[in-house]
Amino acid sequence: EDQVTQSPEALRLQEGESSSLNCSYTVSGLRGLFWYRQDPGKGPEFLFTLYSAGEEKEKERLKATLTKKESFLHITAPKPEDSATYLCAVQAPLGGNKLVFGAGTILRVKS
Amino acid sequence: DTAVSQTPKYLVTQMGNDKSIKCEQNLGHDTMYWYKQDSKKFLKIMFSYNNKELIINETVPNRFSPKSPDKAHLNLHINSLELGDSAVYFCASSRVVGVHQQETQYFGPGTRLLVL
């Protein structure tokens, strides 16, 4: 069964303190790994899609990387506005393109 | 412009009632989804429609019935609501991206359902 595990569950950072979020996955034939950001009371907002091991994508202070077993979301010099829940999801060829989500990492950045 | 919209945003109702949630997307996508996010914030797929055809039907009680009148709309009707149905329901839609055919899913703002 496809499975996604995110760690840590929660992370508190000082403004400017860089860190990484982890997403480890078990899936038969990965078609894509997705990162989303979710603010309280809102729907998930798409950040990145990674397709194959070794791939990296960047957007402002965020950088997502992918290996054969896990993905990292690196946050460089975070600001308070980066505070949110970050969700990782995988898409497998079986199951009609559904996304299997991890439980998320709650990030709080203090000024 | 709202890409994926849902109505209502909040829904408070009594046990045993029947209610519907509506979703519309103006992205020109051909696949739409319903997800449920429980109190632990876990997002789980419920249904998926492609060109009005049901393609994903996870283990969901028969009280939940999706309907897609056209590619831009996907509704969710829930019969005989139970306390355990309280959750946030998200609609999403997707498009094909590049040669890999992976689909990036875009989510609506959610409908917060509370069953009393």
pLDDT number for residue B95 = 79
B101 falls in which pLDDT band (50, 70, 90)?
Answer: low
* Partner A, chain B 28-67, Cβ-Cβ below 8 Å: 31, 33, 40-45, 48, 50, 55-56, 58
Q: Which residues of A touch B (CB under 8 A)?
A: 31-32, 34, 36, 41-46, 49, 51, 85, 87, 89, 91, 95-101, 103-104
Burial B1-24 (b: 16+ CB within 10 A, else e): eeebebeeeebebeeeeebebbbb
CA distance B68 to chain A (A): 17
Condensed to tens digits (0 to 9), the pLDDT of residues B30-79 reads 889 999 999 878 899 999 888 788 888 887 899 999 999 998 999 999 99
Handedness of CA B108, B31, A101, A37 (dihedral sign): negative
CA distance B109 to chain A (A): 4
CA–CA dist A77, A18 (Å, integer): 5
Answer whether B101 touches A (CB < 8 Å): yes
Residue B100 has pLDDT above 60, yes or no: no
CA–CA dist B113, B110 (Å, integer): 9
Most A CBs within 10 A among B10, B27, B43, B93, hence the mutation to make, goes to B43
pLDDT number for residue A64 = 98
CA distance A98 to chain B (A): 7
CB–CB of B56 and A95 under 8 A? yes
A89 falls in which pLDDT band (50, 70, 90)?
Answer: very high
- Are β-strands B10-13 and A10-14 bridged in parallel, bridged antiparallel, or unpaired? unpaired
Condensed to tens digits (0 to 9), the pLDDT of residues A57-88 reads 999 999 999 999 999 999 999 999 999 999 99
Strand partners, A89: A34, A101
CB–CB of B109 and A42 under 8 A? yes
CA–CA dist A91, B93 (Å, integer): 14
Residue B17 has pLDDT above 60, yes or no: yes
A-B CB pairs within 8 A amount to 63
* A13-22, A27-36, A64-73: least confident range: A27-36
Residue B96 has pLDDT above 80, yes or no: no
The pLDDT of A8-37, averaged and rounded, is 94
Is the Cβ–Cβ distance between A88 and A23 less than 8 Å?
yes
Q: Return the higher-pLDDT residue of A92 and B37.
A: B37
CA–CA dist A48, B14 (Å, integer): 40
Mean pLDDT estimate for chain A: 93
H-helix segments, A16-88: none
pLDDT number for residue B97 = 59
Answer whether B102 touches A (CB < 8 Å): yes
Q: Tell me which chain A residues have a C-beta less than 8 angstroms from the C-beta of B44.
A: 101
Neighbours of A39 (CB within 10 A): 12
Handedness of CA B57, B23, B27, A81 (dihedral sign): negative
